[in-house]
Structure 1
């Protein structure tokens, strides 16, 4: 059988599925069946008419909540909404049995906010984008330390 490698800007769904299904099978062989099942979570900020203004979008899997997106419009910041929304997400994550929350933020976004919320830097990537830093942050919800002593 001959194989070849292709570079694709928009891989077909079958190509993505082949990668995901193979990776998932490998991961679950080590972490247990269903450990990579994913459940979406959203906390939405809405105006008086119910239209979405912003919010938090993530998913729980592998015992953690991963916050994929979190945005509050500038005119609604510094009113405690971010704290309330992140707390709601953390509480739901705990109800789902998650042991922690992880996310990324940039140096020009909200690393200070997350520090105040108890998140710790577990990784950083300088010059991503150039002139800035991308931080990986995490917080345990179960009270255990992030790193073993």
Structure 2
């Protein structure tokens, strides 16, 4: 079989699906746990008109809740809403039977905020982006 490698900035959904399903299948076979059962979640901060102002977005899979995005506008920071979003996300993780929560942040973002909530650093990547550091944190719930 002759093969080639192509770089593209716009992979077709079918291409993404081939790779994703192949990896999920490999992982499920290796760990004996379904990974395709990814379940999304959002902890949304809304105003009285139900406009979303910020919050957290993520999903649970392989027994962990992963927070992909957390953001609040400057005017809402320091009001306790971020802590409330994180507490509700933790409650959701517990309700889903997750062993813990993981997330990442940058040196110019909120590492201290997460550590105050009981998260521990487990990885760093200096100079990502250049001049800054990326941090990975986790909090075990079990």
Q: Give the superposition deviation at 1:113.
A: 0.3
When normalised by structure 2's length, the TM-score is 0.97
CA RMSD of the aligned region, Å? 0.9
Q: Give the superposition deviation at 1:4.
A: 1.1
Gaps of 5+ in 1: 143-149
State how far apart, in whole Å, the 2-side matches of 1:130 and 1:22 are. 33
Count of aligned residue pairs for this structure pair: 142
- Does 2:112 align with 1:112? yes
When normalised by structure 1's length, the TM-score is 0.92
Alpha-carbon deviations, 1:28-79, whole Å to 9, x = none?
0011242341000100001121100001000000000000000011100111
What is aligned with 1:98?
98
What is aligned with 1:17?
17
State how far apart, in whole Å, the 2-side matches of 1:127 and 1:112 are. 19
- Does 2:64 align with 1:64? yes
Gaps of 5+ in 2: none
Q: Give the superposition deviation at 1:14.
A: 1.1
Moved over 4 A (4+): none
